[in-house]
Chain A
């Protein structure tokens, strides 16, 4: 029976091919019907589907299964993965055979999907019953226990009660008490049938009876698609559309369990195999519920979310460039390790690279051919309470304009990537002259500080009449600029003092460190200038020429030049031959990316377009995404966007996190490190858990009744932040507390034995070690509060009135008298994504459901983006704690 025992001759059970293959096919059948149950439950395919449509569906399903099994089979054949289990092969082949038969059946017979599902259940029941009887009459070699056990008996007894009640109620009605007798009789019958006979009968026959009954009820359309049951006691009812998939799911699970038991020959292996399937299908059900929700929202919302999405081909290339770099990195990652052996893994590694590469090629062709690339689709909006179908699409146009923000974002991605690579390389060896160079740089920067401050003060239209906020920004920026300027001067000065190398490559290699500092200095200088411009109203220029982009581009070009030559020199050095890119090369690329980012910031800040070799960097660029870049237009014929809601949600999450994390972590430190375990800590624990379980609408009511009268009397962003902060607090507290408790006491002992005080120990050892756990808590909490609706309806304000995104950063005002800082924007009403969805859906006919779906889709993306940030920072802290 079981090939697992094949090595022990005495334990090998006799193989019975028909029995084993048949049960493999039956298990496959139960899996197929389980999946069909899931599919029909979420209504991907209607239960009433029949004829050609049903054939098409099954052919598709067959193709998917053959494709999946085929791919796995090919990999298995190629030796990439190792599938030796007879059972897995049997189930895979059985699944294909089952689906072929099913497809043929639905082609020949004209039946609905519901009937097919019913027949599937009946077939499963029949196979399970036959297998059980075959085992009972010793036709096959099995090792059943004396009974299926009390647990199974109790379960079947309870199921029997339910079924008996339903059958009895239907036959004799619920008016007389007779149905109770029927229920009791059926329950007792199943109980006895399960417990008294040997295990092979006890676990198969009750299953077959139950599943067979369910199947017959569905197949004969006793409970059909149009079936409905509205019990008097319930306000709702049960419909065939929901009941049939539930029957199928339940029946397949049950027969799956029984068939798996039969297949493994009952006894302990049988229980093990049965549990294996039931547990796996349960997990599968959970994953598919999540996947279904995500896919459902995406399918419904993505069309509207991308309406009118346009991007210029050069802009698209700018976005694809960092992706290309990341894909290259992914493709070459395992080089030099043993893991990089099989062709298939290589394929997986190279696939994203190929994908991004071909995408880039397609986009580039748009520029060359000069014609747009459009993916068209339609969507429906409500115009004057009438649905109207609009044509739109996602377009890539040949327009040679790059948006400043797009450029900045992509360049920053590149900068981060290369910067990290540089840090990794730098850790390998240290140049002692580095310290000296920095010292010189600092000394020179002091001199430069004075000069630059004067220059900028003179250039500024109102040097000493600036508002306080501006002055603070100016001082900070000037300080940064000045340090940078000093560094760059030092960088130029140092090579001049020493001798030159024999060739350019070697020279650069010798002075790479200083050149690198020079470039970084220039970069920092640019940063300062770019940030100075809007604040001080300064725009350094020579005649009509704007200096910033010129310097930025020169820096970028110089950086690439340096990186190429230095990288070449490094590669030729024997000890570093194995490196793909040298230290300076990577730094040069990072500098170039940084310079490009600054160019983008410059254009965005000044509004001055910059054109070089036919490519223009402009404020807007040829990038348009109306859904996320425009404001909501109520009842408009033109579909608007949800920018105010996105901005509102981001601010809410940021505010709530800023409020809850310090408080929560602080309280967790107090509870774990300082407080004596006792009545007080128990009280805090109970209070925390109670706070976490408090319904969100109660938080909302509290905010509306308590906070709002104290915060200007009107619904506001600040009230929303605080209420969400209250909701986030308990989770941060609970998870931080657990994370801190998980820090080993050895660290605390070691620190105490060095004479370090408790607080220093907490700050320097305990909290860093607990950081990944704390961040996990914050991630979970943010995911929860970002989608919170009920309290926001009460405290945040009306979504549909917010036509402009809330400007929190610009809203700060400084005064000479207390309270010194104010921000009217925080006290204003605004929109958020969840309330936007609610408002759009609740607006009824005048609302636009497709916009609601699109908003939900974007909310999902925003939450996932917060998750991504959290996961990245958690990984960062974990890496820091563990050796690499």
Chain B
């Protein structure tokens, strides 16, 4: 498994200082870490992805493969483009009018930036959890079943009953499954009709994860899912992410290097200027990074 990013030009203006711990050149560094070989099949492969916000080149020539059924952490200082990168993976950046995206992202070998891509289908397969918990002002049950109902997978209501298509039982099963997967079932099973805004911050975030799971995605993108939460809620979310990686491909952006080290199988380090500096097994990144900049960042000397 080798990443094909090595043949692309590196923007030397912002990257003049990049040297390895052993004093090698930029190209040699890249040759070292791009020669990785992860255990799983690549679920997502990104090639030469560039994003501009107006004139601002936010993401520069990023290429990486994300293996399936594992946790991939994206770390780096603020403004390094890791969230931008994450949002490219389910085309959420399409919603930003000034964003200009160039490059290729393949999901199971299918190009998602194809003009004929069905966005509904893509986002069903690649779900997303946001930084701040954002449940809808609806009941817990309606929050979970919102996606499937809107996709027509679950029918409810007067007309459904009249036509004999009522899926209330399926809905109940779905809600229970999603909430159990998100480790929230025990806390809310007795108040599924209560408004979701009445839950605590940590519960709301797990509800958002359950809501995302309810559409049966293959990939779950998480944008700093624990940054707005207290340590106990954070620990629960982290346990949850590790559990989810058994069945799902999880990509998580985080500011906390300890968190990345704890939960992820592989880690990608983005540094200022929107470049992917190093991407490798988490252990390798944290114990013996190839790049001097990454080592500086991880040891707290920079960023």
Q: A residues within 8 Å of B by Cβ?
A: 427, 435, 744, 746-747, 749-757, 760, 764-765, 768-769, 880-884
The complex places the Cα of A768 from the Cα of B138 at a distance, in Å, of 10
The complex places the Cα of A435 from the Cα of B120 at a distance, in Å, of 34
Q: Decide if B132 is an interface residue (CB 8 Å cutoff).
A: yes
Is the Cβ of A747 less than 8 Å from the Cβ of B134? yes
Is the Cβ of A746 less than 8 Å from the Cβ of B132? yes
The complex places the Cα of A379 from the Cα of B60 at a distance, in Å, of 87
**Contact partners of B92 in chain A: CB under 8 A:** 749, 752-753
Is the Cβ of B215 less than 8 Å from the Cβ of A754? yes
Closest approach, in angstroms, between the C-beta of B217 and any C-beta of chain A? 9
Residue among B90, B136, B138 with the highest chain A CB neighbour number at 10 A: B136
**Contact partners of A751 in chain B: CB under 8 A:** 136, 146
Is the Cβ of B123 less than 8 Å from the Cβ of A882? no
Given known pairs A752-B95, A753-B90, the reply for A747 and B123 (CB within 8 Å) is: no
Which residue in chain A gives the minimum CB-CB distance to B150? Answer: A756
**Contact partners of B95 in chain A: CB under 8 A:** 749, 752
**Contact partners of B121 in chain A: CB under 8 A:** 755
Which residue in chain B gives the minimum CB-CB distance to A760? Answer: B150
Which residue in chain B gives the minimum CB-CB distance to A435? Answer: B168
Pairs A–B under 8 Å by Cβ, sample size 13? A427-B193, A747-B137, A749-B92, A749-B134, A750-B135, A750-B211, A752-B95, A753-B92, A754-B212, A757-B120, A769-B137, A883-B196, A884-B195
Q: Decide if B130 is an interface residue (CB 8 Å cutoff).
A: yes
The complex places the Cα of A747 from the Cα of B133 at a distance, in Å, of 10
Q: B residues within 8 Å of A by Cβ?
A: 90, 92, 95, 119-124, 127-128, 130, 132, 134-138, 146-147, 150-151, 168, 193-198, 208, 211-212, 215
Is the Cβ of B123 less than 8 Å from the Cβ of A764? no
Instruction: Identify A753's interface contact among B123, B135, B151, B193, CB under 8 A.
Output: B123
Which residue in chain B gives the minimum CB-CB distance to A763? Answer: B150
The complex places the Cα of A132 from the Cα of B168 at a distance, in Å, of 79
**Contact partners of B123 in chain A: CB under 8 A:** 752-755
Instruction: Identify A883's interface contact among B127, B128, B132, B197, CB under 8 A.
Output: B197
The complex places the Cα of A764 from the Cα of B127 at a distance, in Å, of 19
**Contact partners of B130 in chain A: CB under 8 A:** 746, 749-750, 753
Is the Cβ of A883 less than 8 Å from the Cβ of B146? no
**Contact partners of A746 in chain B: CB under 8 A:** 130, 132, 134
The complex places the Cα of A70 from the Cα of B185 at a distance, in Å, of 57
Is the Cβ of A754 less than 8 Å from the Cβ of B136? no
9 closest A-B pairs by CB? A883-B198, A755-B123, A746-B134, A883-B195, A753-B128, A754-B147, A881-B137, A755-B120, A756-B150
Is the Cβ of B197 less than 8 Å from the Cβ of A756? no
Which residue in chain B gives the minimum CB-CB distance to A761? Answer: B150
**Contact partners of A768 in chain B: CB under 8 A:** 137-138
Which residue in chain A gives the minimum CB-CB distance to B129? Answer: A753
For the A-B complex with A755-B123, A755-B215 known, give 8 more contacts whose Cβ atoms are closer than 8 Å.
A744-B134, A746-B130, A756-B146, A756-B151, A764-B146, A765-B136, A769-B137, A882-B137
**Contact partners of B132 in chain A: CB under 8 A:** 746
Which residue in chain B gives the minimum CB-CB distance to A754? Answer: B147
The complex places the Cα of A284 from the Cα of B296 at a distance, in Å, of 65
Is the Cβ of B122 less than 8 Å from the Cβ of A750? no
The complex places the Cα of A143 from the Cα of B147 at a distance, in Å, of 67
Residue among B121, B134, B194 with the highest chain A CB neighbour number at 10 A: B134
Closest approach, in angstroms, between the C-beta of A577 and any C-beta of chain B? 20
Closest approach, in angstroms, between the C-beta of A440 and any C-beta of chain B? 14
Is the Cβ of B150 less than 8 Å from the Cβ of A764? yes
The complex places the Cα of A760 from the Cα of B95 at a distance, in Å, of 16
Which residue in chain A gives the minimum CB-CB distance to B121? Answer: A755
A interface, by DSSP: helix, strand, loop or mixed? helix
Is the Cβ of B198 less than 8 Å from the Cβ of A750? no
Residue among A752, A755, A765, A881 with the highest chain B CB neighbour number at 10 A: A755
The complex places the Cα of A126 from the Cα of B287 at a distance, in Å, of 85
The complex places the Cα of A838 from the Cα of B196 at a distance, in Å, of 53
Which residue in chain B gives the minimum CB-CB distance to A756? Answer: B150
**Contact partners of A769 in chain B: CB under 8 A:** 137
Is the Cβ of B134 less than 8 Å from the Cβ of A754? no
The complex places the Cα of A858 from the Cα of B121 at a distance, in Å, of 58
Is the Cβ of B195 less than 8 Å from the Cβ of A882? yes
Which residue in chain A gives the minimum CB-CB distance to B90? Answer: A753
Which residue in chain A gives the minimum CB-CB distance to B123? Answer: A755
Is the Cβ of B194 less than 8 Å from the Cβ of A883? yes
The complex places the Cα of A427 from the Cα of B141 at a distance, in Å, of 14
Which residue in chain B gives the minimum CB-CB distance to A427? Answer: B193
Which residue in chain A gives the minimum CB-CB distance to B148? Answer: A754
**Contact partners of A884 in chain B: CB under 8 A:** 195, 198
The complex places the Cα of A764 from the Cα of B150 at a distance, in Å, of 9
Is the Cβ of B211 less than 8 Å from the Cβ of A754? yes
**Contact partners of B136 in chain A: CB under 8 A:** 747, 750-751, 765
The complex places the Cα of A882 from the Cα of B138 at a distance, in Å, of 8
The complex places the Cα of A765 from the Cα of B193 at a distance, in Å, of 17
Closest approach, in angstroms, between the C-beta of A92 and any C-beta of chain B? 44
Residue among A750, A760, A884 with the highest chain B CB neighbour number at 10 A: A750
**Contact partners of B138 in chain A: CB under 8 A:** 768
Residue among B92, B150, B198 with the highest chain A CB neighbour number at 10 A: B150
**Contact partners of A764 in chain B: CB under 8 A:** 146, 150
Which residue in chain A gives the minimum CB-CB distance to B214? Answer: A754
Given known pairs A747-B134, A769-B137, the reply for A755 and B122 (CB within 8 Å) is: yes
Closest approach, in angstroms, between the C-beta of A439 and any C-beta of chain B? 10
**Contact partners of B196 in chain A: CB under 8 A:** 883
The complex places the Cα of A744 from the Cα of B121 at a distance, in Å, of 25
**Contact partners of B194 in chain A: CB under 8 A:** 883
Which residue in chain A gives the minimum CB-CB distance to B211? Answer: A754
Is the Cβ of A750 less than 8 Å from the Cβ of B134? yes
Which residue in chain A gives the minimum CB-CB distance to B191? Answer: A427
Which residue in chain A gives the minimum CB-CB distance to B162? Answer: A442
Which residue in chain A gives the minimum CB-CB distance to B120? Answer: A755
Which residue in chain B gives the minimum CB-CB distance to A883? Answer: B198
Which residue in chain A gives the minimum CB-CB distance to B119? Answer: A755
Is the Cβ of A750 less than 8 Å from the Cβ of B150? no
Closest approach, in angstroms, between the C-beta of A560 and any C-beta of chain B? 29
**Contact partners of A880 in chain B: CB under 8 A:** 137, 195
**Contact partners of B215 in chain A: CB under 8 A:** 754-755
Closest approach, in angstroms, between the C-beta of A543 and any C-beta of chain B? 40
Closest approach, in angstroms, between the C-beta of A689 and any C-beta of chain B? 26
Given known pairs A755-B122, A755-B123, A764-B146, the reply for A882 and B193 (CB within 8 Å) is: no
The complex places the Cα of A757 from the Cα of B120 at a distance, in Å, of 7
Closest approach, in angstroms, between the C-beta of B99 and any C-beta of chain A? 14
Which residue in chain B gives the minimum CB-CB distance to A438? Answer: B161
The complex places the Cα of A427 from the Cα of B208 at a distance, in Å, of 24
Is the Cβ of A755 less than 8 Å from the Cβ of B147? yes
Closest approach, in angstroms, between the C-beta of A753 and any C-beta of chain B? 4
Which residue in chain A gives the minimum CB-CB distance to B135? Answer: A750
Is the Cβ of B150 less than 8 Å from the Cβ of A754? yes
Closest approach, in angstroms, between the C-beta of B222 and any C-beta of chain A? 11
The complex places the Cα of A824 from the Cα of B109 at a distance, in Å, of 67
The complex places the Cα of A880 from the Cα of B196 at a distance, in Å, of 11
The complex places the Cα of A342 from the Cα of B292 at a distance, in Å, of 69
The complex places the Cα of A665 from the Cα of B168 at a distance, in Å, of 32
**Contact partners of B122 in chain A: CB under 8 A:** 755
